[in-house]
């Protein structure tokens, strides 16, 4: 029992550490940027309150959503590769954005900045992105329902849907004016600086609700780890539970992607890092995947904002560049919990 | 005679509609504290029968628990009655303690309460698994893993244990350990249905034997059900049965190395 108590202690410690790191990272992020501020200026500055703090909050929320989404998808599909990216949620969203920009003309290119897309009507675009990311998931879930396909086949269906939407997006781009193509490309880069307070509020509410649901269902998630038969023998109805989890996780990803564009890798890396550190128990994975996702995205965005300041590198690019080497390093260290 | 716990009537099952039935009219009864072996060759329906009893598969026909039909019970209520130990436990990254705590899932509210923790501790103590509490399942040996699976099923405080080839892939010492654990449960009134391919195992441990062939009960009764004729008929092999100090041993007939 002492061993177990030590393990529990280590797990709690990681929670505190992540929490503190997150607060520190947020403070640093507020201060750093093209426009350096002292603490006193900070409270009075319009830049800070209208641009930097919304951006940081949005990074935290989107990161938490993606991290949590990847974590629970990996559980119910019993596949370490499951993430909003691999399941085609992101590609569906990109397709929706392309449709909105090219056919409805909601976006236009502003040539002054590095990420110079101005979306005239962001809600139309987000709505389209959201709709098509959910279409992807619904197709996969319908297949699962009708044909009783395995979790592995669900992943393959996701990869197929992903390819389909990528091809469809390219087809649209092929016939679109170059200005609109550029707008689509810029949108897909993934950037947390687009959201205003209303959108942030919306994301916070959705994240809060879905997060609470997964916290309540943490033991069910653990029971799913042993396979459907074991889950059934423990009193669950695994097929139904899997659909519920997938719908809610996809909702998180779809909301995140439709407001911030495509940000790869956070959904994959955050839960795996937690597993490497404290194992695969969903009582901890649910909160810590969210915390770590938020931390990774905030750090990446801060790096992206400052490294070639005043120009800003979209966070989607940074997450992949920083995330991949970190992830490979940790995997190669061969921790026992890998995958 | 002990009190009857479980009874099935005319149990049928097939994986696909219009396909031939894997189970074809199973009638059986299980008594309190009884250890019954289900024997039969591959494909005879042993595993399917266990899964149908635990409602992991949904059969046609009736299953009565203490005289009451279980059809209307929820999956969660069933989990308080049947503890199912699958043939191969899927590896999960949980620690031993948390994996066994999953057995309390059917009883659990928002979080495990004191009693849940007590039950898990008790089960771990009984199976001598306490020192492994913090170890992830991925680091356990086959024997330890099987014991954890049994511990989880026991944490469900079941009336009936369904064990699918619990001694499969275990070394000799672990086989004995696992069978001794199952035997000890009889004193607590827990009934067990055990499948096995080892014909000698029921000769040592079984109260009763059910011999299956092609989805039907071929014969059932005490250990004598396993004899030269029935084994020839069901498994298609010739055996000879030796007696040693009043115990019986089944060996292949005219085995080459002798």
List, for residues A234-289, the tens digit of each pLDDT value.
Answer: 999 998 898 899 889 988 988 888 888 888 888 888 998 898 888 889 999 999 99
**CB A236 to CB B84 under 8 A?**
no
What is the pLDDT of chain A when averaged over all its residues?
Answer: 84
Give the closest-approach CA distance of B234 to chain A in angstroms: 29
**B84, B106, B136 ranked by CB distance to A279: nearest:** B136
Task: Label residue A155 left, alpha or beta by phi (over 0 means left) and psi (-120 to 50 means alpha).
Answer: alpha
pTM (predicted TM-score): 0.88
Q: Which residues of B touch A233 (CB under 8 A)?
A: 54, 56, 79, 82-84, 86, 153
Q: In the predicted model, is pLDDT for residue A337 greater than 50?
A: no
**CB B138 to CB A336 under 8 A?**
yes
Q: Which pLDDT score is estimated for A105?
A: 76
Taking the Cβ of residue B83 and every Cβ of chain A, the question of whether any pair is shorter than 8 Å is answered with yes
- pLDDT band (50, 70, 90) for residue A310: confident
Alpha-carbon gap, residue A13 to A1, rounded angstroms: 18
Q: Which pLDDT score is estimated for A338?
A: 38
ipTM for this model: 0.89
Cα distances (Å, whole numbers) of residue B107 to B77, B159, B192: 9, 15, 21
Q: Which pLDDT score is estimated for A247?
A: 86
Query: What is the mean predicted confidence (pLDDT) over B128-133?
Result: 92
Instruction: State the pairing for strand pair B23-31/B4-13.
Output: antiparallel
Taking the Cβ of residue B139 and every Cβ of chain A, the question of whether any pair is shorter than 8 Å is answered with yes
**CB B51 to CB A226 under 8 A?**
no
Q: Which residues of A touch B136 (CB under 8 A)?
A: 279-280, 336-337
Cα distances (Å, whole numbers) of residue A322 to A33, A65, B71: 19, 19, 55
Query: What is the mean predicted confidence (pLDDT) over A36-43?
Result: 65
Helix (H, G, I), strand (E, B) or coil at B108: coil
Best residue in B90, B111, B145, B149 for a mutation probing chain A (most A CBs within 10 Å): B90
Taking the Cβ of residue B13 and every Cβ of chain A, the question of whether any pair is shorter than 8 Å is answered with no
Which B positions 108-137 lie with beta carbon below 8 A of chain A?
108, 110, 121, 130-131, 133-136
**CB A235 to CB B78 under 8 A?**
yes
Alpha-carbon gap, residue A243 to B119, rounded angstroms: 32
Q: Domain map of chain A by residue range?
A: 2-333
Contact call for residues B121 and B153 (beta carbons, < 8 A): no
Please give the CATH number for the structural domain made up of A2-333.
1.10.3470.10
Query: What is the mean predicted confidence (pLDDT) over B51-75?
Result: 90
**CB B110 to CB A216 under 8 A?**
yes
pLDDT digits (tens, 9 = 90+) for A137-161: 888 888 877 777 778 888 888 889 9
Residue A113 corresponds to which tokens in the numbers above? 């900045």
Q: Which pLDDT score is estimated for B184?
A: 94
pLDDT digits (tens, 9 = 90+) for B190-219: 999 999 999 999 999 999 999 999 999 999
Query: What is the mean predicted confidence (pLDDT) over B166-178?
Result: 90
């Amino acid at each position: 029992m002492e061993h177990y108590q030590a393990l529990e202690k280590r797990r709690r410690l990681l929670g505190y550490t992540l929490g503190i790191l997150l607060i520190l990272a947020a403070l640093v992020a507020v201060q750093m940027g093209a426009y350096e501020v002292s603490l006193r200026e900070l409270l009075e500055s319009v830049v800070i309150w209208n641009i930097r703090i919304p951006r940081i909050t949005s990074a935290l929320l989107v990161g938490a959503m993606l991290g949590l989404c990847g974590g629970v998808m990996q559980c119910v599909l019993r596949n370490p590769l499951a993430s909003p990216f691999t399941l085609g949620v992101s590609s569906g969203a990109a397709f929706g954005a392309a449709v909105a920009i090219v056919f409805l003309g909601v976006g236009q290119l502003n040539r002054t900045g590095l990420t110079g897309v101005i979306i005239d009507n962001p809600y139309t675009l987000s709505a389209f992105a959201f709709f098509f990311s959910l279409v992807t998931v619904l197709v996969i879930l319908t297949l699962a329902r009708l044909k009783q396909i395995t979790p592995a086949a669900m992943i393959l269906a996701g990869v197929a849907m992903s390819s389909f939407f990528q091809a469809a997006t390219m087809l649209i781009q092929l016939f679109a004016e170059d200005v609109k193509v550029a707008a689509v490309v810029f949108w897909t880069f993934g950037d947390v600086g687009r959201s205003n307070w209303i959108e942030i509020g919306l994301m916070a509410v959705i994240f809060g609700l879905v997060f609470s649901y997964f916290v309540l269902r943490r033991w069910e998630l653990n029971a799913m780890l042993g396979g459907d038969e074991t889950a059934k023998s423990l009193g669950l109805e695994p097929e139904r539970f899997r659909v519920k989890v997938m719908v809610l996780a996809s909702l998180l990803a779809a909301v995140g992607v439709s407001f911030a564009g495509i940000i790869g890798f956070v959904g994959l890396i955050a839960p795996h890092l937690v597993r490497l550190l404290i194992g695969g128990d969903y009582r901890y994975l649910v909160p810590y995947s969210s915390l770590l996702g938020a931390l990774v995205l905030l750090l990446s965005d801060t790096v992206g904002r400052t490294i070639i300041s005043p120009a800003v590198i979209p966070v989607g690019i940074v997450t992949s560049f920083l995330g991949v080497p970190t992830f490979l390093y940790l995997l190669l260290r061969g921790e026992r919990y890998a995958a | 005679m002990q009190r009857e716990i479980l009874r099935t009537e005319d149990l049928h099952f097939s994986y696909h509609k219009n396909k031939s039935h894997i189970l074809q009219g199973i009638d059986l009864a299980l008594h309190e504290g009884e250890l019954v072996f289900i024997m039969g060759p591959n494909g005879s329906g042993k595993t399917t029968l266990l899964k149908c009893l635990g409602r992991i598969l949904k059969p046609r026909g009736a299953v009565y628990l203490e005289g009451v039909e279980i059809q209307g019970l929820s999956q969660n209520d069933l989990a308080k009655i049947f503890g199912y130990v699958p043939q191969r436990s899927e590896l999960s990254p949980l620690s031993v303690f948390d994996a066994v705590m999953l057995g309390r899932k059917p009883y659990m509210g928002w979080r495990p309460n004191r009693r849940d923790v007590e039950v898990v501790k008790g089960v771990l103590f009984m199976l001598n698994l306490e020192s492994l509490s913090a170890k992830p399942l991925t680091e356990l040996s086959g024997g330890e893993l099987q014991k954890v699976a049994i511990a989880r099923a026991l944490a469900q405080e079941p009336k009936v244990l369904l064990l699918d080839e619990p001694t499969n892939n275990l070394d000799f010492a672990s086989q004995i350990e696992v069978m001794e654990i199952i035997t000890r449960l009889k004193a607590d009134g827990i009934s067990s249905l055990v499948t096995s391919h080892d014909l000698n195992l029921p000769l040592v441990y079984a109260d009763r034997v059910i011999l299956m062939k092609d989805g039907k009960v071929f014969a059932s009764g005490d250990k004598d059900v396993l004899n030269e004729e029935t084994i020839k008929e069901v498994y298609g092999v010739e055996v000879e049965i030796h007696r040693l100090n009043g115990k019986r041993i089944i060996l292949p007939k005219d085995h080459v190395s002798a």
